[in-house]
């Protein structure tokens, strides 16, 4: 309780000190507001979604933005794209489609430890493309723990058994983080980028372009994560684990055959994905020219509340199912967009960007490398949504000052913000698997630091070479 009160006090204290020392001008007021929000986001004094509401209180009072302009940020179209993705994820979870997909992938892996880990990671990454990485990690954790428990005494005494348990748990967390990068709805930073790009008057990022661009990078990140974890940090010297196949088959048997509701959710999920992928082609049809990724997401959501399950005759989703929606993340999203807008109107973005430009190397690759490293290590201790909301507008100004395409810095910044591997506090999937009891802080930090370095290099090289071809 004492620590909580200290965490609560730090934010307002920094706010007042900044106002007292900085003088009375709009930029100081904005910086003071950001310091308050960052202090509460980092300290975790109150839920992140509640902290994200501070702009509605502070911005009108401080004259940064009026109430209408501030609250408009919480109704940004991209937030509704994310809402639609969340609702689709709820349906996938409700009808156990996610578990069936995961178990079938692991079932194909066989009984060799490394293949089991690879199968678990692949299942996690594929699911994280479509449902939140937090929900994916929650679903995969009990499956992973069931697999690990078959090792019995080896987990306690055998190094190989312990390495298997650690690597499987880490693989679930890291794959949940990496998999979300693949699609615009897979992780909040991607949608923050899409929103800021749209609001800046730049060509919008569509679902299919992002998917084609991000997929090869995700494959490389996924492969490097698997190899570093299983071959370098925690090598596993077990030839075969008897009983894994039986366990997975038993789980699949309990699920039974695809129910009608499950089939219909699968059809809606695949149809939504296809509409997202081929939207650019559909826009060429006159009466579909206004079709957007957000429209498709909301259409899928409405259909899920309309289409019934043939057995129960009830809709695939009911309103009470939405109690599980992460509403706080949607508020966090709106708060992040508000911060970005506030920094823009108070000219802080331009000033900060110009200062960095004057003190940075003009070489594009080195600049990308620095941006990646900054984003990745900062997101270890703060919300990645808050991070990208603040720094994407800054990256635009830096890019412009060097005569670069704005995307050349904004995209690596955004992707790096999803690659926090070192600490349980870095991302929800990290915290979820840490709760399993199979990991120590040192296990995650030791693996995470190598993955962080590898990710910075991989993201920088890939973005430096390929962004100009896609954006």
Report if residue 197 sits inside a domain.
Answer: yes
Residue 26 maps to a domain: no
Give the CA radius of gyration of the chain. 23
Would the pTM of this model clear 0.75, i.e. be above it?
no
Q: Is residue 187 part of a domain?
A: yes
Q: Give me the residue label for tokens 């080896």.
A: 154
In a domain, 61, yes or no: no
Contacts of 379 (CB under 8 A, 6+ apart): 387, 416, 417, 418, 419, 420, 426
Residue (of 435, 454, 452, 433) closest to 167 by Cα position: 433
Residues of the chain with pLDDT under 70: 1-2, 42, 44, 102, 135, 142, 149-160, 238-245, 349-350, 352-354, 356-362, 381-383, 425, 435
Q: What is the pLDDT of residue 239?
A: 67
Look at residue 215 in the predicted model and tell me its pLDDT.
94
Q: How high is the pLDDT of residue 174?
A: 92
Is 451 inside a domain boundary?
Answer: no
Burial of 360 per CB tally in 10 Å (0-12, 13-18, 19+): middle
Q: Residue 55 domain-assigned?
A: no
CA–CA separation, 335 and 48 (whole Å): 10
Q: What is the pLDDT of residue 356?
A: 67
**Domain count of the chain?**
1
Cα 109 to the center of its chain, rounded Å: 26
Looking at the chain, how many residues does it have? 471
Burial 107-145 (b: 16+ CB within 10 A, else e): bebebbbbebbbbbbbbbbbbbbbbbbbbbbbbbbebbb
Q: What per-residue string of b and e applies to 36-60 under the rule 16 or more CB within 10 Å gives b?
A: bbbbbbbbebeebbebbbbbbebbb
pLDDT at 153: 47
Residue 221 domain-assigned (yes or no): yes
| Whole-number pLDDT of residue 352 | 66
* Orientation of helix 384-401 relative to helix 407-416, angle to 10°: 160
Please give the residue range of the domain that contains residue 260. 78-324
Residue 165 lies in a domain: yes
Q: What is the pLDDT of residue 152?
A: 52
Q: How many helices (H) and strands (E) does the chain have?
A: 24, 0
Assigned token pair, 134: 């937090």
């Amino acid at each position: 309780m004492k620590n909580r009160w200290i965490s609560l006090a730090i934010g307002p204290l920094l706010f007042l000190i900044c106002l007292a020392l900085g003088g009375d001008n709009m930029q100081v007021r904005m910086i003071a507001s950001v310091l308050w929000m960052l202090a509460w986001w980092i300290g975790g004094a109150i839920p992140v979604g509640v902290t994200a509401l501070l702009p509605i209180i502070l911005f009108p009072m401080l004259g940064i933005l009026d109430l209408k302009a501030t609250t408009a940020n919480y109704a940004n179209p991209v937030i509704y794209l994310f809402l639609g993705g969340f609702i689709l994820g709820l349906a996938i979870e409700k009808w156990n489609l996610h578990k069936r997909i995961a178990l079938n992938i692991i079932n194909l892996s066989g009984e060799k430890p490394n293949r089991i880990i690879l199968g678990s990671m692949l299942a996690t990454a594929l699911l994280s493309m479509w449902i939140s990485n937090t929900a994916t990690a929650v679903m995969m954790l009990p499956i992973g723990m069931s697999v690990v428990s078959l090792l019995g005494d080896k987990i306690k005494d055998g190094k190989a058994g312990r390495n298997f348990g650690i690597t499987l748990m880490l693989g679930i967390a890291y794959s949940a983080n990496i998999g979300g990068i693949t699609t615009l709805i897979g992780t909040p930073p991607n949608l923050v980028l899409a929103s800021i790009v749209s609001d800046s008057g730049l060509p919008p990022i569509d679902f299919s372009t992002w998917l084609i661009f991000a997929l090869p990078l995700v494959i490389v990140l996924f492969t490097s994560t698997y190899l570093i974890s299983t071959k370098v940090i925690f090598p596993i010297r077990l030839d075969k684990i008897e009983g894994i196949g039986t366990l997975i088959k038993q789980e699949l048997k309990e699920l039974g055959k695809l129910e009608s509701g499950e089939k219909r959710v699968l059809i809606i999920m695949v149809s939504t994905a296809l509409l997202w992928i081929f939207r650019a082609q559909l826009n060429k049809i006159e009466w579909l020219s206004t079709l957007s990724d957000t429209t498709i997401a909301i259409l899928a959501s409405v259909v899920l509340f309309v289409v019934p399950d043939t057995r129960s005759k009830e809709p695939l989703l009911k309103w009470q199912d939405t109690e599980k929606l992460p509403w706080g993340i949607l508020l966090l999203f709106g708060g992040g967009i508000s911060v970005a807008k506030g920094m823009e109107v108070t000219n802080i973005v331009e000033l900060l960007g110009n200062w960095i430009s004057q003190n940075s190397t003009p070489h594009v690759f080195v600049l990308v490398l620095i941006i990646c490293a900054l984003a990745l290590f900062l997101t270890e201790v703060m919300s990645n949504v808050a991070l990208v909301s603040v720094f994407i507008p800054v990256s635009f100004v830096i890019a412009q000052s060097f005569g670069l395409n704005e995307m050349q810095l904004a995209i690596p910044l955004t992707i790096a913000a999803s690659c926090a591997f070192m600490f349980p506090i870095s991302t929800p999937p990290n915290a979820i698997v840490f709760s399993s009891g199979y990991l120590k802080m040192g296990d995650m930090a030791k693996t995470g630091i190598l993955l962080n370095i590898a990710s910075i290099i991989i993201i920088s090289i890939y973005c430096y070479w390929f962004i100009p071809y896609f954006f």
